[in-house]
Structure 1
């Protein structure tokens, strides 16, 4: 019997039982050897980004994250890696989906390991803010503001917001020739600064947002927009 089974694997003329074909297919499929969390993440992306996040697969990823919170940091890092590649390839539709997925996971998963996920989340925000696409910058700011409203169970001793203060302040002074887009970017910058202040004030363990190094950027940015709104 064993000889027949081995012969079957090499002789295409001999029909294989269904279960044998299934085993061979799984063993020869590279995706079968990928970690489960990666397969779950990959499955939330549609073939066409215009179709949006695959909701039923997102529910599976969320359930897995809640059941295995120790995997949150790996899930976050993998989402960040995928989004980074898509940004470089200018596949912004997939970037939007990745950001939406991270937003949902951030809200759904309250665990001690959430702090590790937040690091990947903030890396994603920074990556989008550094892009030259204004729409991605606005999207990133919206996600940051939602994050700022979340109370974390585990304090962060080393997290810093210097980049976000500088970037949001810069957005407040945007001079895009498209007035409508310029106003949206400036408003996003203001909302981002409000988010930074809210997040840092609510946590005594992070840097002091009232230090001159931050206030020298925040106050002029807000005054600039107050003056130009008249």
Structure 2
């Protein structure tokens, strides 16, 4: 009777109450998660979410992973309904549940990741509520922080345009600063995530543009000194709950108000809140993570070239505003840990002199060479291939400059003055880079190659000889280490030869 009623006549479950096969627990499992979810959501939208009940629901999901799709389906329906009705308190509870799932059910993440990413896209599109957009950015940060592989790399890449848009919000009030900071914070995690998995997004140039925009905006308001102070303090202490120098930036959960950046409560110091609202701080964190991407030559070029193009377009090379100099000095200090990459930065910067945006702009070339000279003062002394190649390129530019001066009969006084200033800047840069080589031998080899490949044209040949001669005068004070080493080796070989060839007394 019980088997027949379950398969054919389910209505008899309400009639045959004494049938042992039709007891409630044997007929269908109890949907305990529905009761747990009903207890979690408060009737009062102002009430805080109950962490203990959220923990029970997540523990139930951990023990019953097959129930996670049903749980997330109910959470999605509740979230979208509350967003339409602007019941933001319930939306915060939904996001608290998802954040707890991220920490409790990491192994079951494929069962709810797509659901969470869909909700985050919706939250970032809530233009009428900056509070929900900040909540979406904060939850996205926690989702990225929980990733152990690149499974969701391309899903996360789709968030970059919207995050860049949030980081470009116009305004100086507290809500806008929080929104911009939240967007930049998510971008900083995104850049770090890309670096850990050796992937550069197609929208990488947009990220750089947004970082520079926030960096320059706050620098123009004289906030750079404050940011430098905050950055120096963050080397040895936790700022807003994030260990800056660690392998990852670990976020804290905000129990009081999920609309603010995580880890900031009313009882904490105001310095942490000010840091959380400072877009320049997060732009420097993004620069820090970008510097970590510079692991090889191709990556360094891919990271630096967008910076150079923006500097060209926005005239940031000028020493008056100092944006290019400040950013490159900061990035140089970060890439010095990677060995020769600091020398590689100088080489790429010198090669940028041949770019079409700069090639015929003497003023820009002078500013770039001055910045290169400034950066060269901070690198360690080493005869690397990158720095020797940079000297070779500078000698070529010096030859062109001397050739222009030789043809100066038809040049205006202003152009002549610029060429003279360019020559002086090139000579100073060659001298500074040669000192960092520390050995005149490789530079002499460069000069010999230049003379061996001397052009046939008279004026070009003369300018080449003049450039080599000027370089020779600049490097006279540098020791010839390779020559002395080679001479000592030759002496040893000669001594051994004479000893072997001496007559033997019998």
Q: TM-score range by the shorter chain?
A: 0.7 to 0.9
Partner of 2:124: 129
Corresponding position: 1:90 with 2:79: no
What CA RMSD, in Å, does the superposition of the two structures yield over aligned residues?
2.7
Shift of 1:155: 5.7
Shift of 1:226: 0.4
Corresponding position: 1:179 with 2:179: no
Give runs of aligned pairs for residues 150-169 of structure 1, distance below 5 A: 150-152=146-148, 156=151, 159-169=154-164
| Closer, same or farther: CA 106–183 of 1 in aligned 2, 3 Å | same
| Closer, same or farther: CA 71–172 of 1 in aligned 2, 3 Å | same
Inter-partner Cα distance in structure 2 for 1:195 and 1:158: 12
Inter-partner Cα distance in structure 1 for 2:142 and 2:38: 24
Partner of 1:49: 45
Give runs of aligned pairs for residues 90-109 of structure 1, distance below 5 A: 90-109=86-105
| Closer, same or farther: CA 198–220 of 1 in aligned 2, 3 Å | same
Counterpart contact for 2:58–2:97, Cα < 8 Å? no
Inter-partner Cα distance in structure 2 for 1:186 and 1:195: 14
Inter-partner Cα distance in structure 1 for 2:147 and 2:126: 28
SS in 1 for 2:33: helix
Shift of 1:54: 2.6
Counterpart contact for 2:106–2:146, Cα < 8 Å? no
Partner of 2:62: 66
Inter-partner Cα distance in structure 1 for 2:150 and 2:158: 20
Partner of 1:214: 203
Inter-partner Cα distance in structure 1 for 2:112 and 2:132: 21
Inter-partner Cα distance in structure 2 for 1:123 and 1:225: 28
Shift of 1:157: 6.3
Inter-partner Cα distance in structure 1 for 2:78 and 2:154: 23
Query: How high is the TM-score relative to the length of structure 1?
Result: 0.75
Moved more, 85-94 or 114-123: 114-123
| Closer, same or farther: CA 34–225 of 1 in aligned 2, 3 Å | farther
Corresponding position: 1:228 with 2:226: no
Shift of 1:33: 9.6
Counterpart contact for 2:68–2:112, Cα < 8 Å? yes
Counterpart contact for 2:55–2:100, Cα < 8 Å? no
Deviations 1:62-106 (A, max 9, x none): 120110123223322321221111001111111111111111111
Shift of 1:184: 1.2
Partner of 1:17: none
SS in 1 for 2:62: helix
Corresponding position: 1:120 with 2:115: yes
Higher RCO, 1 vs 2 (CA within 8 Å, ≥6 residues apart): 1
| Closer, same or farther: CA 68–95 of 1 in aligned 2, 3 Å | same
Inter-partner Cα distance in structure 1 for 2:48 and 2:153: 35
Counterpart contact for 1:37–1:75, Cα < 8 Å? yes
Counterpart contact for 1:164–1:196, Cα < 8 Å? no
Structure 2 unpaired stretches of 5+: 1-13, 15-23, 220-506
Shift of 1:131: 0.7
Counterpart contact for 2:59–2:104, Cα < 8 Å? no
